[in-house]
């Protein structure tokens, strides 16, 4: 059974999720967003009604997905009319209970991925993490998740906090390391695409077995000469130097336990 579904938000997550639901024949009946331009564009794209007024959530909504910034979750939930529908948010870091001002039927529908509007995302490859305050709401969330992806996981709020933290390390921090590499190459007047094969191979190996089993480099070998040389090269970049030293020390400690 396909629930009557409303979507709150028009940012990256809301846009990708709305399009993905429509693609698997799960219609979104209504889009609600304070951003009139983005919200109307999304609603037109997926064939939904649109309003900027959160109090006008459609009374026949059975499932409302709140895909807004983490800071706005509790505020928006408090503005919604007290309907009987299930309200879920899509955040990795926000506890489910921040929706409690809405009512008893609350939960989480968290697609684990980094979203950018100009990048296509294959939801069939994504894990979707679900949670609900009432056990009898789980089948609805699981059914919807499995329409999008076979990778559906029941994850509670405490587990999700650690999952989100791990995601920050493997995505946000890794991307920042790419940026540091790009800046260092630019100083040497070298193109970033020199590193692309290395980036691809590293990501692929990390998905086959434990990442620690694939660790290489001077810190893994305990090569103090190279480590000191690199630190000296970073003398004009004290922030990069601190990161380099801290991460190298962490790798050394991890390797010494093997």
pLDDT, one tens digit per residue, over 51-63 is 999 999 999 999 9
Domain assignment of residue 138, given as a range: 5-155
- Here the CATH number for the domain that contains residue 128 is 3.40.50.720
Q: Are residues 47 and 83 in the same domain?
A: yes
Stretches where the chain sits below pLDDT 70 are 1, 257-258
- List of long-range contacts for 217-226, beta carbons under 8 Å, 24+ apart: 217/251, 218/248, 219/247, 219/248, 219/249, 219/251, 219/252, 219/255, 220/251, 220/255, 222/252, 222/255
Q: Are residues 40 and 62 in the same domain?
A: yes
pLDDT value, residue 190: 97
Pick the last residue of a domain from 155, 171, 195. Answer: 155
Q: Are residues 138 and 181 in the same domain?
A: no
Pick the last residue of a domain from 112, 128, 155. Answer: 155
Q: Are residues 148 and 167 in the same domain?
A: no
Q: Are residues 188 and 232 in the same domain?
A: yes
Q: Are residues 140 and 173 in the same domain?
A: no
pLDDT value, residue 118: 83
Q: Are residues 58 and 109 in the same domain?
A: yes
Pick the last residue of a domain from 155, 179, 200. Answer: 155
d(CA 52, CA 36): 6
Sheet order of strands, 128-132 included: 49-51, 28-32, 5-8, 63-66, 86-89, 106-111, 128-132, 152-154
Q: Are residues 24 and 150 in the same domain?
A: yes
Q: Are residues 144 and 42 in the same domain?
A: yes
Q: Are residues 210 and 150 in the same domain?
A: no
The domain tally of the chain equals: 2
Q: Are residues 112 and 188 in the same domain?
A: no
Q: Are residues 21 and 137 in the same domain?
A: yes
Provide the whole-model pTM.
0.90
- pLDDT tens for 164-200 read 999 999 999 999 999 999 999 999 999 999 999 999 9
pLDDT value, residue 3: 86
């Amino acid at each position: 059974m396909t629930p009557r579904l409303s979507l709150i938000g028009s940012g990256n997550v809301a846009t990708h999720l709305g399009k993905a639901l429509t693609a698997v024949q799960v219609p979104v009946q209504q889009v609600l967003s304070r951003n009139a331009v983005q919200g109307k564009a999304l609603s037109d794209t997926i064939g939904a009604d649109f309003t900027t007024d959160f109090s006008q959530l459609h009374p026949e909504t059975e499932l409302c997905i709140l895909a807004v910034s983490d800071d706005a979750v509790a505020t928006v939930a408090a503005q919604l009319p007290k309907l009987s529908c299930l309200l879920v948010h899509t955040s990795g870091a926000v506890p489910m209970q921040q929706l409690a001002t809405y009512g008893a039927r609350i939960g989480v529908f968290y697609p684990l991925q980094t979203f950018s509007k100009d990048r296509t995302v294959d939801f069939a490859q994504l894990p979707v993490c679900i949670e609900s305050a009432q056990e009898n709401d789980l089948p609805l969330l699981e059914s919807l998740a499995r329409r999008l992806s076979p990778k559906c996981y029941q994850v509670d709020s405490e587990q999700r906090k650690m999952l989100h933290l791990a995601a920050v390390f493997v995505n946000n921090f890794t991307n920042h390391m790419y940026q540091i590499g790009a800046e260092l190459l630019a100083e040497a007047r070298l193109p970033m695409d020199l590193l692309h094969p290395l980036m691809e191979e590293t990501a692929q190996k990390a998905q086959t077995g434990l990442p620690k089993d694939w660790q290489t480099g001077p810190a893994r070998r305990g090569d103090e000469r190279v480590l000191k040389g690199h630190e000296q090269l970073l003398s004009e970049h004290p922030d990069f130097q601190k990161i380099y030293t801290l991460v190298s020390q962490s790798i050394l400690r991890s390797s010494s336990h093997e």
